[in-house]
Structure 1
Amino acid sequence: MARVPAQQRRQDFIEAAVRVIAEVGIDGATTRKIAEAADAPLATLHYCFHTKEQLFFSVFEHMSVDILEGQTEALGGHGDLAVAAARIVRTTLEWSTQHPNYSRVQFDLLLWGLRRESKDEQWAERVYGVFTDPYVRILRESVGPNDDPALVEPLARVVLSIIDGLTLQWVSNPDTVRLQGDVELAATMISTYVSASRGAAQSVAAQARAAAS
């Protein structure tokens, strides 16, 4: 039997974990069942992932990489914060509808992380960092001359909240046409908010110039 590279084996276990959780739920997703679904020895799973927490965390890491891989340039707003934020929402929700098992399982995993007893009390917080950190980077690179850089981090958190809410709604009722309409509404809301922030900043700047003259 040909030896499977460790990186490929890790990916096999991640995909198997998602399939098993989608089929039997988080409580039934034992490492033995996951190894069987990956057609690999249980010992190999424990070699690649020392704990179930590491394996489940890697599911989120894979999601983040897969969503953003090769799309950094496309996601950039080229000097327009609102455009970049809207593109993140559109791109992520498009990925979510193309990967329904991941979309469903992520909520099971997050709630599991919040409920379980663990030495890693920041597990769920780190999960969100897997997504917010690259979103912050993309948005920061997209700040235009009239944008407020201080808006980047809270906007990234709000964008992720919109994505989570729309994903959960779609998982509950997979009406893709309705989802597309809601995504465009969210993009309009983001644009309106960023534009209002620009207007406020310009007003403050104008007042400062008037006071100095």
Structure 2
Amino acid sequence: MPRVPAGERRQEFVNAAVEVIAAHGIDGATTRRIAEQARAPLATLHYCYDSKEDLFADVFDFVAARFQSVLADSDPHAGLAVTARELLRGVIGCYFESHSFAATTLELFSWAQRQPENRGTGVYERAFDTMRTILRNADQEKQLTAEAIDDIIDVIAALADGFAINWLTRGGQTLADEQLNLVTSVLDSWLAARIGQAAAKRPRSRSRVKAASNRST
């Protein structure tokens, strides 16, 4: 039987841990269950990882990398509103990939908050930094302040996380599609109002003021 490279074996354990954590929670995700899910000897798991916490850290990094990958794929040339919608649908898409991924993600964030390094906060901050850069690039007319950009990010995060909890609680493909359309429309409506307010408050350039003055005379 060919020997499986260590990196490939670790990924198998990470994939198995996602399924086990989703089914049994963090406390119920024993190394034995994870090894069984991966169809590997328990000794092999302990060879790859010194502790269950080390394995969970890799699972957490896997989840964080998935979100970062989706965010980085967003196209800022589509305009601010469209880009914000793409970010929201991308994050929701991560949850929507599978029930196990969504359940494990929420479990891991709860677990991370109890760790000394508070890894959950770090993942959120990295994701927010990525979205901040994307939205600034999408705001080609510079309509919004830094605070307004952060408001958009907060709304995206709240809608996406709310979707995940609601979908896991109530389930169903049809309901998920309805919720996705609903949260997207909520973001669209909020953005239209927010961008409109920003445009109204934006100082008019001297050239625009002069042109308006000429039209009135």
Cα distance between partner residues in 2 of 1:83 and 1:98: 22
- RMSD after superposition: 3.1
- 1:9 is matched with 9
- 2:79 is matched with 80
Counterpart of 1:26 in 2: which secondary structure?
Answer: helix
Computing the radius of gyration from Cα coordinates, the structure with the larger value is 2
- 1:158 is matched with 155
Return the offset for 1:12.
0.7
Q: What is the identity percentage for the equivalent residue pairs of Structure 1 and Structure 2?
A: 33
Unpaired segments ≥5 residues, structure 1 = none
Contact conserved, 1:20 with 1:29, CA < 8 A, in 2?
yes
Return the offset for 1:185.
2.8
One-letter code of the match for 2:88?
Answer: V
- Please give the per-residue CA displacement for 1:82-104, whole angstroms capped at 9, x wherever unaligned: 21121122233234233111111
1:168 aligns with one of 153, 165, 168: 165
1:139 aligns with one of 135, 139, 155: 135
Counterpart of 1:3 in 2: which secondary structure?
Answer: coil
TM-score (norm 1): 0.78
Q: Does 1:198 align with 2:195?
A: yes
Contact conserved, 2:70 with 2:91, CA < 8 A, in 1?
no
Return the offset for 1:13.
1.1
Cα distance between partner residues in 2 of 1:135 and 1:202: 21
Contact conserved, 2:64 with 2:123, CA < 8 A, in 1?
no
- 1:93 is matched with 92
Q: 1:141 to 1:62 in 2, by over 3 A?
A: farther
Q: Does 1:125 align with 2:121?
A: yes
Contact conserved, 2:71 with 2:91, CA < 8 A, in 1?
no
TM-score (norm 2): 0.77
Q: 1:5 to 1:155 in 2, by over 3 A?
A: farther
Counterpart of 1:25 in 2: which secondary structure?
Answer: helix
Cα distance between partner residues in 1 of 2:123 and 2:67: 15
Return the offset for 1:206.
4.0
Q: 1:133 to 1:7 in 2, by over 3 A?
A: farther
Deviates most, 190-199 or 41-50? 41-50
Return the offset for 1:196.
2.9
Aligned residues: 208
- 1:27 is matched with 27
